[in-house]
Amino acid sequence: MRPLAVPLATGALTVLGWWLERRLAPASAGGPLLLRPGLPALAAYLAAFAVGGFEPAREGLRSLRRGRIDIDFLMVAAALGAAAIGQAQDGAILIFIFALSHALEQYAVGRTRRAVEALVRLRPTRARRVRSLDDVGEGALVPADQLRPGDVVLVLPGEQIPADGVVVQGASAVDASAITGESIPQERAPGQTVFAGSVNRSGALWVQVTRSTPDSTLSRIIRLVAEAEEHKPPTQLFIERFEQVYSAAVVLATVGVIAAGPLVLGWSFDLTLYRAMTLMVVASPCAVVLSTMPAMLSAIARGARRGVLFKGALHLEQLASVRVVAFDKTGTLTMGRPSLTAVHGVDGWSESQVLALAASAEAGSEHPIARAIVEAAHRHDLAFSAPEQTTSHPGRGVEAVVAGDRVMVGSPAWFEEMGRPLRPELRDRLARLEAAGQTAMVVGVNGSGPVGLLAVADRVRPEARQAVAAMKRLGIRVVMLTGDNARVAEAIGEELGVDEVHAGLLPEEKMHVLAELERRWGPVAMVGDGVNDAPALAAAAVGVAMGRSGTDVALETADVVLMSDDLSRLEGAIRLGRRAERVVRQNLAFAFGVIAVLVVGALGGWLDLTLGVIGHEGSTVLVALNGLRLLGFRWSGGSAQPSGEAPELVGTAQPETGS
């Protein structure tokens, strides 16, 4: 209500002047001086000028001191000009509607800032800090900004998580919708990360803090959304430069009409000045100036509510123009860590026995492949023991003593070197696995020949196929970039249906590929996890980063961040950018069209000042409201089953049970 106070007061004074003008004029010809015809109404109109015109006059004078002519100056000058020729009522109406349009503009822009305000309200203020996991109490309540990395906090059901951290005890469903845009609460267990501002829905959680409050993901999101208002797109920058030149041209045109009216066109001075003031009003570029930023800021706010952060309107505009999307493979199209995909036994060895034997040999290793084998054994409740002795053979495999037996797990070439060749049955299966882009390992025991095969692979994200298909529906070429070998890359590329695969790339080589893609097809968006992809993210026309898997680097390097690591949201982000671009074009076409019609009407004498004010300021309000519609943009994309924070639990294959 506060932004409307000035226009409401201005409008009330204008209506009072109109009423006095009609109520007192017939009966006051011989009355007191203060009730002489027109004086009370004029006082009311001048009061309207003072209330509604004070701020525009001050801004206009500031611009003049800097050598600029802006819209505020034009509006105040037109209102004063109308009063000077006896049209104080029209001048007051102009001031009223101009004040009203400014209030509505502030409301339109203010709606986009509410996303930041809502996030600020999410920022926790208190935390339950405990001394250790054995602390039986509920801890000491401390201000959240006092938390430091390493502190342990207890979060009870219904409370906000006070800081970014890792769950060290307890399990619960956590609602992170305000941070990641995921509508479904995600299960969190020990070892999984949680964000400040998320809400603990069910069980108690003990969380070890990993970032202090100023460095939390929520705090950085707040800064990014707030700073987005300062990054203006090229369209807006052009309009601001255009406004300065155009406003000066309007003043010159007004002076030209004042000079030409009596001398060339034979108009009276009052008629000339009236039409000149009308021209100044209707030709002012208010609607043009307001065509871009309300729309862009509304789109940014809409994206933030869906877990897609734009670091500025510039990047939203650029995303709308991309013709190629280049995806990194590892950690972006795939989960970024290997999972067991196949188990096969020979000579009477079952799949469970082969997996348990391999898990025993790999139990002491931190290698990603070893962890995938051990996790699969745990998942299938297989009994296995820790090795008594382990010898690592880099590049070949591992040899371990398990319950007195010597177990070997390694590459087929290693077994060949030891004179233990694979049987034809295993060779055929090995060839099929490697052709599918999987990494196969042989399992042997006590110096005999191989007793089975294991295969692991970096699994494709559940939403990756949907994301690739969505890009193609948008008419965008899809490319995959990876440092992995060509055989694995081609297999995954074929599975996903990408248009091009570039494998075996170093980070700097990805930049060269992006440059070539842009030369051939047009602007390129690079989607990566923000770690080794940072150079490519910076070099692309638009860098899009996965917010979970590479949060620190992603929020610094990329232009757009997918907070939930959900690739399917990229479709919605691109559609949002394209819709915002269309709205801006609609606004500009409408604004210039209205100005053209009103200018012709003003010069032709078919339009009076009051209608000119209504037409001009009405168009300004309409373009602001048209941009505001993007706050209700219907989002496309977004997984029905979000992948959540625990990729290691998603899509793990069951061991094969036969040949």
Report residue 228: phi and psi, to 5°: -60, -30
Q: Please indicate whether residue 618 or residue 531 has the higher confidence score (pLDDT).
A: 618
Confidence of residue 118 (pLDDT cuts 50, 70, 90): low
Give the 3-state secondary structure of 161-207: CCCCEEEEEECEEEECHHHHCCCCCEEECCCCEECCCCEECCCCEEE
Residues of 104-113 as b/e, b for ≥16 C-beta within 10 angstroms? bbeebbebbe
> What confidence tens digit (pLDDT) does each residue in 169-202 have?
888 888 876 666 555 677 888 888 888 888 888 7
CA distance 521 to 414: 45
Q: Residue 429's pLDDT is what? A: 87
CA distance 60 to 70: 6
Q: Please indicate whether residue 404 or residue 557 has the higher confidence score (pLDDT).
A: 404
Tell me, which fold does domain 126-159+164-210 have in CATH?
A: 2.70.150
Q: Please indicate whether residue 243 or residue 607 has the higher confidence score (pLDDT).
A: 607
Percentage of the residues of the chain whose pLDDT score is greater than 90: 16
Q: Residue 105's pLDDT is what? A: 64
Residue 621: CB atoms within 10 A of its CB come to 20
632: three-class secondary structure by DSSP = helix
pTM: 0.71
Residue with tokens 């800021």: 297
CA distance 490 to 174: 38
Q: Please indicate whether residue 325 or residue 140 has the higher confidence score (pLDDT).
A: 325
- Burial classification of residue 657, based on how many CB atoms lie within 10 Å of its CB (0-12 exposed, 13-18 middle, 19 or more buried): exposed
Is the confidence at residue 112, as pLDDT, over 60?
no
Q: What is the mean pLDDT of residues 387-406?
A: 85
Q: Residue 465's pLDDT is what? A: 92
H/E stretch holding 246 reads helix 234-260
The mean-pLDDT minimum among 123-127, 589-593, 650-654 falls in: 650-654
Q: Residue 552's pLDDT is what? A: 62
Q: How many Cα atoms within 13 Å fall on the side-chain side of residue 56?
A: 31
With beta carbons less than 8 A apart as the criterion, state whether 148 and 215 touch.
no
Q: Residue 35's pLDDT is what? A: 45
> What confidence tens digit (pLDDT) does each residue in 59-82 have?
878 877 877 777 777 778 878 877
328 catalytic per annotation: yes
Report residue 407: phi and psi, to 5°: -110, 135
Q: Residue 654's pLDDT is what? A: 40
Q: Please indicate whether residue 136 or residue 254 has the higher confidence score (pLDDT).
A: 254
CA distance 211 to 226: 21
Residue ranges covered by each domain of the chain = 126-159+164-210, 322-540
275: three-class secondary structure by DSSP = helix
Helices (H), 306-423: 313-320, 351-362, 368-379, 412-417
Q: How many Cα atoms within 13 Å fall on the side-chain side of residue 154?
A: 16
Is the confidence at residue 479, as pLDDT, over 90?
yes
Residue with tokens 């290693």: 414
Give the 3-state secondary structure of 435-452: HCCCEEEEEEECCCCEEE
Report residue 281: phi and psi, to 5°: -70, -55
240 Cβ partners below 8 Å, 6+ apart? 232, 289
Percentage of the residues of the chain whose pLDDT score is greater than 70: 83
Q: What is the mean pLDDT of residues 377-398?
A: 85
With beta carbons less than 8 A apart as the criterion, state whether 585 and 557 touch.
no
CA distance 283 to 302: 33
* CA geometry: angle 603, 605, 608, nearest 5 deg: 105
CA distance 649 to 659: 26
Annotated catalytic residue, options 328, 458, 529, 559: 328
CATH match of 322-540 with 3.40.1110.10: yes
Helices (H), 461-608: 464-473, 486-496, 507-521, 534-539, 551-557, 569-604
Q: What is the mean pLDDT of residues 353-373?
A: 85
Instruction: Retrieve residue 576's tokens.
Output: 């949002």
> What confidence tens digit (pLDDT) does each residue in 231-270 have?
555 676 677 677 677 777 888 888 888 888 788 877 777 7
Residue 234: CB atoms within 10 A of its CB come to 12
Residue 564: CB atoms within 10 A of its CB come to 26
